[in-house]
Structure 1
Amino acid sequence: MDRRNHEVSRRTVLCAAGAAIALTVVAQPTQAGTITRKCSADIGPGQRADLAEQAIVARHVHSLLGLSDYQLGVLEWPADLTERSLLGRWCYWWQAHLLDCAIDAAHRSRTPDRIDRIFALARGIRARNITGWTNRYYDDMGWLAIALERAARLLDVRFDDAMGDLRGALIEGWNPEVGAVPWRNGDDFYNTPAIGPTGIALARLGEVSRATQLAEFLHTRLRDPASGLIHDGVHEPGGRVDRTVHTYCQGVTIGLETELASRTGEPAHRDRAATLVTAVQRRLTTAGVIAAAAGNDSGLFMGILARYLAETALSLGDTTAAAIVHASARAAWANRAEVNGLPLFGADWTRPVTVPEHPGTFLQLADTSAASSANLSRDLSVQLSGWMLLEADYRLTVAGH
């Protein structure tokens, strides 16, 4: 696609920052809209994904410092003044997943607005990150590399400078003595959340040999023989394993093995992906629905697993993976609440989102314990998981899975 990707100047950022700070002094905090139980008619997978997209765009996507060509996702809704300014807490990897979901939507149905949003979100990440496209964290950079590679491959929306920087940083982070990349630069923790997306990105960028080594590391160093699931990470030197099991660790491992199975034709990668899908179905689902998370970072875990279950179903024909995605999508949709007609998902897709006793009132979602018991979440991460799931469900449905 022939389109210029303008960089933002430091002067522009500083001037806009001053204006934004001045505006937030007099701005009023946002309020939640009217939260009700689901009320829209039964609709198809594409329409569900479309409504999930609309919900996040309406509640979370804002211009950075008043610059319409630079957008980011507000991390909470309703947002306080600091969050609304987009100058507070910085979650690079949440923004990378927001961008990836925007790419899903444009691939589902390409429109000028969706393409503009992809450019604006990518520019927003570059501008807000200050240090360029890269940072110290290899999981962050892996996620963004995956998103931008998909934008180029699926939509011909290219960020060649970004891809060069990210690819170089991921390769530079390689520790040949360990055979993997760490969580962050200079750290001794080699964890699945960094190794998995780095491996997927490198495989798609032609670095199949390195990606294969990363898959071997996960299989030989972090796989639990008893459960078949993948642990969180290992400290090197020393070999101390963090045996925590996260849903998204399974997702990225399935994604990496699927990518390698498709690219190399080696049966071992197909078998590993299928075996891990079976372990997920047995141990990390309830009635076939992906296990619940909490808020904050863990809010993304379910959606990431759903994305890569869909990938292995589409690429390798895994019917168990497809069934988990479909069951999870049905549950998440059935148990949603609605705000002004748009979905609000819970962190637990098996439980209904509880609405206020008086549906016409505004709910601020400020009490964390009360919000948790009601399956309500203010976090962008939780809503992104719902959107990611519904896009995955749509892709499987149209492909006949």
Structure 2
Amino acid sequence: MQHRLVGLLVAGALATAGLTGAGLATAPDRASALTTTQATDAYDAFVDTYWDPDAKYFTTWSDHQVHAEHAVGPQGGAYTDYWWEAQAWEAVMDRYERAHDAASRQMIDDVFDGWRAAYPDFRENDWNDDMGWWARGSIRAYELTGEARYLTEAQDIFAYIAQYEDTTYGGGIWWKNVDVGDGTRNEKNVATNGTAVWTALRLYAATGDTTYRDTAERLYAWLQTNFDRDGHIRDHVSGTGQFTDYDWTYNQGQFAGAALQMYLLTDDQQYLDRATRATDWAVDNLTVAGTFLNEGTSDTEGFKAILTRDIRALIDDAGQTQYEAVLTRNASQAANHVSPEGIGGADWTAPTPSVTTTPQLSLGAAATVAITQQAVPDGSTAVVEGDGVYQAENVDHPGISTESSNTGATGRGYLAGWNTAGTAATFHVNVATAGTHTLTFRSAAAAGTAVRSVRVGNGPTTTVSFPGTSSWSQWTTTTVTVDLAAGSNAVVVSAGSGNANYLNLDAMSVSH
């Protein structure tokens, strides 16, 4: 089996011999997303809104102002910080792989030049994972363009990061390059080490230097042993060896990407199996009605694009075409919910407000650009309903805790011990046809009947009684009939001052 990694070993050898254009400057064919117009419009809107051609840098916010909630990056945060700019660069490369156009090819160079001008010494950063994204982006840029400077940059950054690998916790590279060895101030995580495996094996492909391969194999073995729980990927280890579990899409994607690269190196099926298990876990557990969840604002707005980029690689490099529908569904949702100016937000299932009234972060907008470039077209701009199942732990639920300790729940958990007045869970429901629909809630209420309010958007409120259950592991269903508009609807389940008793809410399903 001739995998892409093996092929690049040959191409890399030619490039280092001086034939930098041979086999590298032409990117592999990539399908347009949805319709060519939607994918192109998303990219053009992103560039028009955030790109400063004079600074050769993307701004942090759509209004080009500094906001206190993320005042990090050049000029006090007016421009995106270190790793955000790397994600914008990856989105530009996603565009170039799809369209092969001269403008995005030039922008690959421009983004890099702007970043190097803003950060003349890449080492002026305490975070190895931040630097790791530029190493990964640089080797990708080398593969796409054949320019030797990108290979050199990737090698230099990776060499710096790799020196922070040691045997604490059994192996792995430290998250930060300060406080090394201090588990109370530092950690080792997938964010740093998954990216390092991917980059090391691409560097091995480009140079043939077995040191990269050996490092990747060592780091991957450590990750597999300590972080992979049958596809559910842990976040980090710290302290005296305690593991912390955060369910982020980018942890799933980075591990899947690392495992895929190991498969391309060895042709050993176990690695592909681990890559697909990590991806399947994300698809099964980190979605709402089949769309990857809103993971919040700031750094988390970019996480989904990291996962979907690695899913694209699973399809292209390992033939895992079962994921095409996943990418197309997510791209459709993202494209269908951009702002009037064409900018995407953190939640692909809900309309993004106008940037004239609600400034949007470039990181979330770049994620929409990325998924629309990555997906295969289906020629449709219709409403994406998905499977109609909305796991409560995956919807917006500020102030409501989650847990998974009681048996019988679906998904990865449920909203737990919910009884705080003024809190609410918002389900962004997409339906193709306006009219009456049935909502079916799955819940447990061992303290007795729990009362909550349900409304759609700004419509009338319905008081709903969730029946008591004999234990917190016994689940029951409650149905509510509502009128939904075609497209996206915000179904809000709230606890008011008159609401009674605790409620564990597992999921809501919607009839179509």
Q: TM-score range by the shorter chain?
A: 0.7 to 0.9
**1:378 to 2:368 alignment:** no
The 1:161–1:223 alpha-carbon spacing in structure 2 relative to 1, beyond 3 Å, is: closer
The 1:248–1:99 alpha-carbon spacing in structure 2 relative to 1, beyond 3 Å, is: same
TM-superposed CA distance for 1:48, in Å, is 2.3
**2:57: which partner in 1?**
72
**1:328: which partner in 2?**
330
Moved more, 94-103 or 105-114: 105-114
TM-score (norm 1): 0.75
Q: SS in structure 2 opposite 1:88? A: helix
**1:280: which partner in 2?**
282
Q: SS in structure 2 opposite 1:241? A: strand
- 2:92 maps to which of 102, 107, 118: 102
Give the superposed CA RMSD.
Answer: 2.7
TM-superposed CA distance for 1:134, in Å, is 6.3
TM-superposed CA distance for 1:194, in Å, is 1.0
**1:231: which partner in 2?**
234
**1:165: which partner in 2?**
156
Instruction: Report the Cα distance in structure 1 between the residues aligned to 2:52 and 2:252, rounded to whole angstroms.
Output: 32
Higher relative contact order (CA 8 A, sep 6+): 1
Q: Does the 8 A contact of 1:104 with 1:391 survive in 2?
A: yes
Moved more, 212-221 or 239-248: 212-221
- 2:221 maps to which of 216, 222, 234: 216
**Residue type of the alignment partner of 2:129:** D
**Residue type of the alignment partner of 1:166:** I
TM-superposed CA distance for 1:254, in Å, is 0.8
The 1:50–1:310 alpha-carbon spacing in structure 2 relative to 1, beyond 3 Å, is: same
Q: What per-residue deviation string (whole Å, max 9, x for no partner) do you get for residues 303-348 of structure 1?
A: 1111111111222222343222111111111222221xxx221211
Q: Does the 8 A contact of 1:281 with 1:320 survive in 2?
A: no
Q: Does the 8 A contact of 1:46 with 1:394 survive in 2?
A: no
**2:187: which partner in 1?**
189
Q: For the pair shown, which has the larger CA radius of gyration, 1 or 2?
A: 2
Q: What per-residue deviation string (whole Å, max 9, x for no partner) do you get for residues 129-156 of structure 1?
A: 2424663322112211111111111222
TM-score (norm 2): 0.60
The 1:283–1:81 alpha-carbon spacing in structure 2 relative to 1, beyond 3 Å, is: closer
Instruction: Report the Cα distance in structure 1 between the residues aligned to 2:135 and 2:197, rounded to whole angstroms.
Output: 11
Matches within 5 A, 1:191-210: 191-206=189-204, 207-210=212-215
Q: What per-residue deviation string (whole Å, max 9, x for no partner) do you get for residues 163-220 of structure 1?
A: 2311211222222453211111134300111111111111111122222222222222
**Residue type of the alignment partner of 1:202:** A
TM-superposed CA distance for 1:107, in Å, is 2.7
Matches within 5 A, 1:78-157: 78-80=63-65, 86-89=74-77, 91-132=81-122, 135-157=125-147
**Residue type of the alignment partner of 1:71:** K
**1:57: which partner in 2?**
47
Corresponding pairs, count: 329
Q: What per-residue deviation string (whole Å, max 9, x for no partner) do you get for residues 210-239 of structure 1?
A: 2222222222212335xx311210016x11
The structure carrying a bigger helix percent of its residues is: 1
The 1:161–1:271 alpha-carbon spacing in structure 2 relative to 1, beyond 3 Å, is: closer
TM-superposed CA distance for 1:113, in Å, is 2.9
Instruction: Report the Cα distance in structure 2 between the residues aligned to 1:105 and 1:134, rounded to whole angstroms.
Output: 29
**2:271: which partner in 1?**
269
**1:344: which partner in 2?**
343
Q: SS in structure 1 opposite 2:174? A: coil
TM-superposed CA distance for 1:85, in Å, is 10
**1:245: which partner in 2?**
247
Q: Does the 8 A contact of 1:103 with 1:151 survive in 2?
A: yes
Q: SS in structure 1 opposite 2:176? A: coil
Q: Does the 8 A contact of 2:34 with 2:372 survive in 1?
A: no
Q: Does the 8 A contact of 2:194 with 2:254 survive in 1?
A: yes
The 1:175–1:261 alpha-carbon spacing in structure 2 relative to 1, beyond 3 Å, is: same
The 1:86–1:54 alpha-carbon spacing in structure 2 relative to 1, beyond 3 Å, is: farther
The structure carrying a bigger strand percent of its residues is: 2
**2:375: which partner in 1?**
393
**1:315: which partner in 2?**
317
Instruction: Report the Cα distance in structure 2 between the residues aligned to 1:85 and 1:292, rounded to whole angstroms.
Output: 24
Instruction: Report the Cα distance in structure 2 between the residues aligned to 1:149 and 1:201, rounded to whole angstroms.
Output: 7
Q: Percent identity?
A: 22
**Residue type of the alignment partner of 1:217:** W
Instruction: Report the Cα distance in structure 2 between the residues aligned to 1:383 and 1:297, rounded to whole angstroms.
Output: 12
Instruction: Report the Cα distance in structure 2 between the residues aligned to 1:195 and 1:313, rounded to whole angstroms.
Output: 23
**1:6: which partner in 2?**
none
